[in-house]
Amino acid sequence: MMLSLLSRSVAVVIMLCIFRQAIGGKLLVIPTDGSHWLSMRPVVERLAQNGHKVVVLTGESSLNIGESDLYTTKTFPIPYSKQHLVSVLEKFGRDHFNPSYIPAVTKFNSMREILKIVLKSCEILLSNTELIQNVKDEKFDALLTDPFSMCGMILAEYLDVPNVNFLRGLPCALDYSSAQCPNPFSYVPRVLTQYSDKMTFAQRVKNVLVMMLEPYYCGLSFLPWQKMASNFLKKEVTLVQLFSRTSIWLLRYDFVFEFPRPVMPNMVFIGGINCKSKKHLHKMEVTGSACVLW
């Protein structure tokens, strides 16, 4: 518990250090809805409690992101209802348990539906010239985003501010390749394969096959993002170029739960899936065949 609290405290301190001012900094947050936001929200709230002005930018039909007394929420219209978002996420969850010879392909095909929604929402946001101008006029000191949606990366480049990525992982190991981090396939399993670093020979072969397929299905899937970023920024950019400008990578996992692998100095491990501390369990006393909770 102490180690977990320490890692979170260190991560927050690092984020504050990239602000121009130690007190009263202005932070723009571009989150990803759903469980991603549930993990990011405690960090956003803590930054707001420490006296920083925090603005969260999100679509109107949100699953979990709402108003708060701690930060300002700015919304923009998106052509999806909350019910539709729920149904797409439920299908994505079911596909994770469907057997497949190459599970990465099955899961990525399901993920593409979510990516389409995220892409469309970003297009609408970037085309909202009035809102983008208001954001630019705010003169934020830094941008915190979940890179599952690359909208935050694009806006960070447009606003020319440092960006902090808060993530669990990216398809095709884009996070590690853009950070110029070694990613040997001999003992580092590719994302979505569900392998560990202790792979059999057959699993290593499948791991290599998945790696060889990544440029194909990831290139096609993320090509719309690359085109949108180039059009909005008025210059040719690649995904790796956008990700490589990241100041801090806040990684929502730890070697304790995963496997050892090379990392770069600006990659900070902040714990498990949900970084929010839970309440202590009630004390239990066993009396005969009955249990009494305190």
Query: How many residues are there in the chain?
Result: 294
- What are the tens digits of pLDDT across the range 260-275? 788 899 998 887 656 4
Question: What is the model's pLDDT at position 250?
Answer: 92
Query: pLDDT tier at 290 (50, 70, 90 boundaries)?
Result: very low
Q: Rounded CA gap, 27 and 56, in Å? A: 9
Task: State the average pLDDT over residues 182-206.
Answer: 84
The β-bridge partners of 287 are 290
Contact 29, 57 (CB under 8 A): yes
Fold (topology level) of 2-293? Rossmann fold (3.40.50)
Rounded percentage of the chain residues whose pLDDT exceeds 90: 33
pLDDT of residue 100: 60
CA of residue 219 relative to chain centroid, distance? 19
Tens digits of per-residue pLDDT, 50-77? 999 999 999 888 888 888 899 999 999 8
Lowest mean pLDDT among 118-127, 138-147, 208-217, 236-245: 208-217
pLDDT in tens, 19-36: 544 567 899 999 988 888
Place of tokens 């979940």: 146
Q: Domain locations in the chain? A: 2-293
